[in-house]
Amino acid sequence: MSAPAATRAGLTLEARALTRRFGGFTAVDAVSLRVQAGALVGVIGPNGAGKSTLFGLLTGFVKADAGKVLLDGHDITGLPPQARAQHGIARTFQVPREFANLSVRANLMVAAPGQSGELLTRLFTQAARIRLEEALIEAKAEQVAAFLKLTKVLDISAGSLSGGQKKLLEMGRALMTDPRLMLLDEPFAGVNPVLIGQIMERISELHSRGMGFHIIEHDLASLSRLVGVLHVMDQGRLLASGLPEDVLGRADVREAYLGSHAAAGEQVPTGEASRGTAA
């Protein structure tokens, strides 16, 4: 099954000295990075490094204390998440946020933006238009489900899905917004190897059609096979950036994961990071 729709031109997303503090704790400390249009970029780092907070800043779910977010060179720092989504930025969350009691079909359909039926007055004045719109949205939901291999579970409750299927549903809900850049927060966490491979295939296909990706992940073995660039965060700061093989070979990256007593030849782990609290 091919990707749901032709991807529009990619987006370039840039952080300039982004900073976020929680009380006396600096979660993101003057981070600057750039995700080129259509790029496939990974973000790694030990737990508590500030990765998810950075995603919140880029997508508008977290307000910056300092710095800027630019989209194709335009300052979007003050825009809320909905407005950024309208510009083509979508994100998933580390813990899936499905509507557990609704079907997979309904979860996908409700994610479609700008539905006329959301306004009560239009239910009476534009009933025919709304019925047509809902039919088109349902067709799109079925196409997205087919692309993600969720067709067989379309009419079961989302709460009964496996962990991997919930991650696919998160991607599907994002795809319903027709994004040009998708930020994925730990898409492989808690997912069995077969479904990890399936998620990687879907990402690769979407990327081949021009969609950009910015991915946080602790499964370094899978991520390094998927992305072209890795950014490493530690203690709220950007520690390193570059090709995966170069970044993962750096002594300071090994130390960030393994601690100051790591042996020089020891490899960065491919599972969960070894210290700290959730990012």
Residue type, 124: F
139 vs 59: CA distance, rounded Å: 28
pLDDT of residue 28: 97
pTM, full prediction: 0.82
pLDDT of residue 128: 66
**Phi, psi angle pair for 246, to nearest 5°:** -75, -45
pLDDT of residue 96: 83
Residues with Cβ within 8 Å of residue 253, at least 6 apart in sequence:
232, 239, 240, 247, 268
pLDDT of residue 270: 52
Angle, helices 193-208 vs 163-175, to 10°: value is 20
pLDDT of residue 276: 34
pLDDT one digit per residue (tens) for the chain, 279 residues: 455 554 556 789 999 999 999 999 999 999 999 988 889 999 999 888 999 999 999 999 999 999 999 999 999 999 999 999 989 999 998 888 899 999 999 999 998 876 554 444 555 556 666 677 888 899 999 999 999 999 999 999 999 998 889 999 999 999 999 999 999 999 998 888 888 998 999 999 999 999 999 999 988 889 999 999 999 999 999 999 999 999 988 999 988 876 644 444 455 555 444 333 334
238 vs 260: CA distance, rounded Å: 18
Q: Which residue has the tokens 């499964």?
A: 219
